Amino acid sequence: MRRYKIPHTDLEASRIAYGCMNIGNRWDRMPLTKAEKAAALDVIVAAYEEGINLFDHADTYMCGKSEAAFAEVWREIPDLRNKIILQSKCGIRFQGAPQKSDPPRYDFSYHHIVHSVEGSLRRLKTDYLDILLLHRPDPLADPEEVAKAFDELHIGGKVRYFGVSNHTAAQITLLQKSVSQPLVINQVELSMLHAYLIDEGIIANQDRDSTALTAGTLDYCRLNNIITQAWSPVAGGKLFNPPKNSEKRVKKAAAMVTRTAEEKRTSKEAIVLAWLLRHPAGIQPIIGTTKPERVKASCLADDVELTREEWYALFIAARGEPLP
């Protein structure tokens, strides 16, 4: 698989990344079974063998079990750590933790960021993260407090590079004003069915409201050499097997994906991901399937080239209305 250099770093990342949320299997604190560990190992190895070298985590995924499941790979491939990019996120806190009366919330406090990273390193059984992302914007975040945490983690060798997730251009600008390290990633929801970041530039001068409130985020990231990572890039599989009660646009887009895949003799996954890869922003899709065969089907996207006409045909079908 082709790779590219992440700006402001010495990291070369695969065009497609693997999202490890689901390898922990269940959202509870029950110990991982042998079967669950084995299944996690199978899909991680499959991703690596397909050329994927960036693996995305978060401290909260499956209550920490996804990071623990990933650590099983060190036994299978002992020298793997220096060949891959480990990325994790922090900032989401669950209801009832640590006090029963605590609400669900976001927390970019110094203590929580540092504590979360230390927990991730322990579960992942590694000394450092290549990249740490702040998971979802915290309205109570103090940029100077975040900067203090980043400095300590960076100087201590626990985190090499930093970024954000689900942040707008203005939020990144505010944070970067205090943080001394460059913010190198912004991970956002982006797919053919959730393309507000792309559609924004088209509807900007139309007499209608944008539900995205994206504030030029995609262009901002391009201008500032921040890699845009796309979570849920295949829209939960709706573009392969749309539910019976799906919107008309979903069914139409799915039919076009199928037809395009047949014409190009490739997988449906490859077409959906190639649509993102075709964008000049250098978007990096993060796939999350736990099935090795679907990992392989997804990675075929690296060899698929969509024409401008094919890209727009898929775009128009998925947006559900003609271009203005």
Active-site annotation, residues? 61
Distances (CA, A) of 126 to 59, 81, 82: 14, 8, 11
Cα–Cα distance measured from residue 62 to residue 26, given in angstroms and rounded to the nearest whole number: 6
Cα–Cα distance measured from residue 92 to residue 104, given in angstroms and rounded to the nearest whole number: 8
Name the token pair of 289: 């399937």
Q: Is 59 helix (H, G, I), strand (E, B) or coil?
A: coil
Q: Under a CB-based contact definition with an 8 Å cutoff, are residues 25 and 62 in contact?
A: yes
Cα–Cα distance measured from residue 49 to residue 45, given in angstroms and rounded to the nearest whole number: 6
Pick the closest to residue 170 from 224, 206, 122 (CA basis): 224
State the DSSP string of 176-227.
HHH-SS-EEEEEEE--SSS-HHHHHHHHTTSSS--SS--TTHHHHHHHTT-E
What is the number of alpha carbons within 13 Å of residue 61 lying toward its C-beta?
23
Distances (CA, A) of 234 to 14, 195, 222, 239: 18, 11, 22, 7
Q: Under a CB-based contact definition with an 8 Å cutoff, are residues 300 and 273 in contact?
A: no
Q: Which amino acid is at 259?
A: R
- Would you give the end-to-end CA distance of the chain in angstroms? 37
Q: Which amino acid is at 180?
A: S
